[in-house]
């Protein structure tokens, strides 16, 4: 009887362990795009990345540092701005704006603490980073730093920065 109970307990434990495999992976096991999708607060950014044709790039090996505006940050833009940028004829402008939010390599908040820097973006221009009182990027505040991904790091910002 004891052996039968032990076997049943092992089977139940094994089945319960299998059930957890369908849960989303933690951010450190997902790339930048999948992490943004899973977060649920970057729907506008994800839609823009898809419209710009940048999904495969941001799923690539990187590493990248992404300053990711939230849906609320996009909502601060003038009415109609996002809808206009998502039009096919404005793809180049959208790509420019999105790649302005990306820096090659991994940069963590601790790397920026106490510093004022100009950092080149993938878009080609530089962003002003101020780490002397929290961290800001071109005036946008980093509201969540160091979200780890398999191909870089995301810093959540409260505004869309423009080149």
- Rounded to two decimals, what is the model's pTM? 0.81
* pLDDT the model gives residue 119: 96
Q: Which domains does the chain have, with CATH numbers?
A: 26-157 (2.30.180.10)
Instruction: Tell me which residues of the chain have a pLDDT lower than 70.
Output: 1-28
Q: Give me the DSSP letters along the chain.
A: -HHHHHHHHHHHHHHHHHHGGGSPPPGGGS-HHHHHHHHSS-HHHHHHHHHHT-HHHHTSS--EEEEEE-HHHHHTSPTTHHHHHTSGGGHHHHHHHHHTTEEES---HHHHTT-EEEEE-TTSSEEEEE-SSS-EETTEEEEEEEEEETTEEEEEESS----
* pLDDT the model gives residue 5: 28
* pLDDT the model gives residue 28: 58
* pLDDT the model gives residue 116: 97
* pLDDT the model gives residue 10: 29
């Amino acid at each position: 009887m004891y052996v039968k109970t032990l076997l049943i307990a092992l089977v139940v434990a094994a089945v319960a362990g299998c059930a957890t495999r369908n849960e989303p992976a933690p951010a450190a096991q997902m790339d930048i795009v999948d992490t943004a999708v899973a977060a649920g607060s970057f729907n506008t950014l994800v839609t823009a990345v898809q419209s710009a044709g940048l999904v495969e790039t941001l799923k690539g090996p990187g590493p990248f540092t992404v300053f990711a505006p939230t849906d609320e940050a996009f909502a601060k833009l003038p009415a109609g701005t996002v809808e206009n940028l998502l039009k096919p004829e404005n793809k180049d402008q959208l790509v420019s704006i999105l790649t302005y939010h990306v820096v090659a390599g991994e940069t963590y908040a601790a790397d920026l603490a106490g510093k004022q820097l100009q950092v080149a973006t993938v878009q080609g221009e530089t962003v002003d980073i101020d780490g002397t009182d929290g961290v800001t990027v071109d005036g946008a505040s980093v509201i969540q730093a160091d979200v780890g991904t398999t191909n870089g790091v995301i810093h959540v910002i409260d505004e869309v920065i423009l080149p």
